[in-house]
Structure 1
């Protein structure tokens, strides 16, 4: 497994219940800020195998990016069950729910 993939899996696994990260934020925290699309591929291919909390990753606008209505509904329900509120457009308030790894230790902001 490539180092970026390992790092991305570690970052996604670290997102606590009730928080979210963006695809770009995961990529940046894993060491490659321009690799948001790779994060999408990792989630698609490895979420089940590594039991990743895939539902805690949203797009840069705080929206659920899944195109399949059933999967998008499942993500919305999982987020709601963890206390993450979505507005009427299905958008998460990133200022309120964004997780920034290492923020308590002075880490960089999630992109």
Structure 2
């Protein structure tokens, strides 16, 4: 799921950056699956307390093929509710 998709679900279509900001401040890592949110181009674009490599590894554990340059086929894995 992309930051923009989360913003749309929240009925705030122009708030993708705010979604990223909020996720970067999650304190209880087990309560919010922050690693499942990526940019709209299919790239891990993370800043803050979690590393891009950590996000990549968590996505790999879930069966999402993320390359070493932190990209993947977003249309193949995109969440479409």
> TM-score, length-normalised on structure 2?
0.84
Which structure exhibits the higher relative contact order, with contacts defined as CA atoms closer than 8 Å and separated by 6 or more residues? 1
Query: Runs of 5+ in structure 2 lacking a partner?
Result: none
Give the alignment's Cα RMSD to 1 decimal. 2.0
Q: Which runs of 5 or more residues in structure 1 are unaligned?
A: 1-20, 102-111
Asked if structure 1 preserves the Cα contact closer than 8 Å seen for 2:52 and 2:70, the reply is no
1:25-104 aligned within 5 A: 25-46=5-26, 48=28, 51-67=31-47, 71-101=51-81
Q: CA deviation at 1:87?
A: 3.4
Provide closer, same or farther for how the CA distance between residues 84 and 47 of structure 1 changes in structure 2, counting only shifts above 3 A.
Answer: farther
Query: What TM-score do you get using the length of structure 1 for normalisation?
Result: 0.63
The structure with the largest alpha-carbon Rg is: 1
Q: 1:50 Cα deviation (Å)?
A: 7.1
